[in-house]
Amino acid sequence: MNDDQVYQLLRSLVLALGRLPLGPADLCARCLGWLWFKVDARHRKITLENLTRAFGDQMTPDQIKILGRQVFKNIMDILFEFAWSLKFDRDTFLSHFTIKGVEHMKQAHAKGKGVIGLLCHLGNFEMLIAGIEPVGVKGYAIYRQLDFEPLDRLIREGRRRFNLEVIPRGKSFKKAEAILKRGEIVGSLLDQSVDWYLGPFVDFFGVPACTHKGFAKLVLKTKAPVVPAYTVRKNRHFTVEFLPEIPLVETGDPVKDIEINTQNYTSVIESLVRKYPDQYFWVHNRWKTKNYCPWPKTND
């Protein structure tokens, strides 16, 4: 089978999955999440270690294990909800959302420099596409392409609904600059580990986490305001919320500016994850890259 045939098969399977009634779909997600947690030793270990780093001083090992199972179920929910949402037209899709804080995005946009959305892997992050509609401005999202092209195509087309376009990561910096110059909105995730040479180590739950410098560099170059956005779910109803703009810090030292602003962005993400730990993507090894320099580092 060629890539197009595989894509058509995947799309048919996902659309069929989306037609399941909510009760059976939720049961399937729960069972698959439990099974995944049981058989995938590698990701179970990563998840439990991450949760222990973040909440080990607040939760018992048994509580952390229960939370870990919920995390796996949450990820399975993403699959079923993505499939379920594909059958909706714009108005039906948006009827499942409560959008909060639109005024923060509009106030930032009124500055005339475009807006950079600070995103993270919280809730069903695929549903963030609903947030752009009430703003009334063209939106773009920077994403990492999947190696399996048919699946990448399916997800890409799902994300392109309702006034949103996607930009593959890699040569996205100049494209993002052009988007912001046009006064539009570009969003990017900032909660994944990168190699040591790609960014500074910042505090995330009290542990140094290497974080991509590209986000802060884009902000410092364009002076576009940064507005955090996230989504969480409750029984197939989703809340998308925009938070107040994060002020840009400029000290005159380019290296220090990247470090300080990246820390500020990461601190906002941490505050959201603390509120909804069961809906965060803990299967990713956020602390994979080790810091061999003293921590914390200060330049005062």
Which element (helix H / strand E) includes 213?
none
Where does the pLDDT of residue 163 fall: very low under 50, low under 70, confident under 90, or very high at 90 and above?
confident
Angle at which helix 3-18 crosses helix 61-85, to 10 degrees, equals 110
AA identity, residue 36: W
- Supply the pLDDT for residue 291: 82
Work out whether the CA dihedral 106, 277, 164, 184 comes out positive or negative.
positive
- Supply the pLDDT for residue 209: 97
- Among residues 136, 140, 133, the alpha carbon closest in space to that of 97 is found at 133
Going by C-beta distance under 8 Å and a sequence separation of 6 or more, which residues neighbour residue 146? Answer: 152, 155
Work out the average pLDDT over 158-180: 86
Where does the pLDDT of residue 295 fall: very low under 50, low under 70, confident under 90, or very high at 90 and above?
very low
- Supply the pLDDT for residue 74: 94
What whole-number distance in Å separates Cα of residue 182 and Cα of residue 140?
12
The pLDDT tens digits for 29-40 are 999 999 999 999
AA identity, residue 255: V
- Supply the pLDDT for residue 24: 92
- Supply the pLDDT for residue 298: 44
Q: In this structure, how many other beta carbons lie within 10 angstroms of the beta carbon of residue 108? A: 23
Where does the pLDDT of residue 255 fall: very low under 50, low under 70, confident under 90, or very high at 90 and above?
very high
Residues shown for the chain: 300
What whole-number distance in Å separates Cα of residue 124 and Cα of residue 122?
6
Given a contact cutoff of 8 angstroms between Cβ atoms, the answer to whether 227 and 115 are in contact is: yes
pTM of the full structure? 0.92
| Chain centre distance of CA 4 | 28
What whole-number distance in Å separates Cα of residue 24 and Cα of residue 29?
9
- Supply the pLDDT for residue 169: 83
The pLDDT tens digits for 93-136 are 899 999 999 999 999 999 999 999 999 999 998 888 888 888 88
Average pLDDT, rounded, for the chain: 92
- Supply the pLDDT for residue 293: 59
Q: In this structure, how many other beta carbons lie within 10 angstroms of the beta carbon of residue 275? A: 12
- Supply the pLDDT for residue 173: 92
What whole-number distance in Å separates Cα of residue 174 and Cα of residue 219?
12
Pairing of strands 185-189, 139-143: parallel
Angle at which helix 214-222 crosses helix 172-181, to 10 degrees, equals 30
Classified as helix, coil or strand, 265 is helix
pLDDT for 294 beyond 80: no
> Which residue matches tokens 């899709």?
93
Tokens for 12? 């048919």
pLDDT for 297 beyond 60: no
